[in-house]
Amino acid sequence: MRQKPHFFNFIKNVPLLPLLIFVDPAYQYIVYEFLPGATTYSRKNKRDMLNLVVKNLINHYQSVASTNGWGWKDDLSVSWQDFLLKGILESETTLEEHLDIEDMKLVQRLAESSNRIPSKGPFLLHGDCGVHNFVFKGGSLSGVIDPTPVLGEPLYDLLYAFCSITE
Average pLDDT of the chain is 81
pLDDT of 4 over the 50 cut = no
Residue 158 inside a domain? The answer is yes
pLDDT of 144 over the 90 cut = yes
Residue 107 inside a domain? The answer is no
* 105 backbone φψ class: left, alpha, beta (φ>0; ψ -120 to 50): alpha
The tally of domains found in the chain comes to 1
pLDDT digit string, tens, across residues 105-130: 777 777 777 676 666 778 889 999 98
Residue 87 inside a domain? The answer is no
Residue 103 inside a domain? The answer is no
The mean per-residue pLDDT over the stretch 64-77 comes to 82
Q: Whole domain around residue 21: which residue ranges?
A: 6-73+121-164
Residue 130 inside a domain? The answer is yes
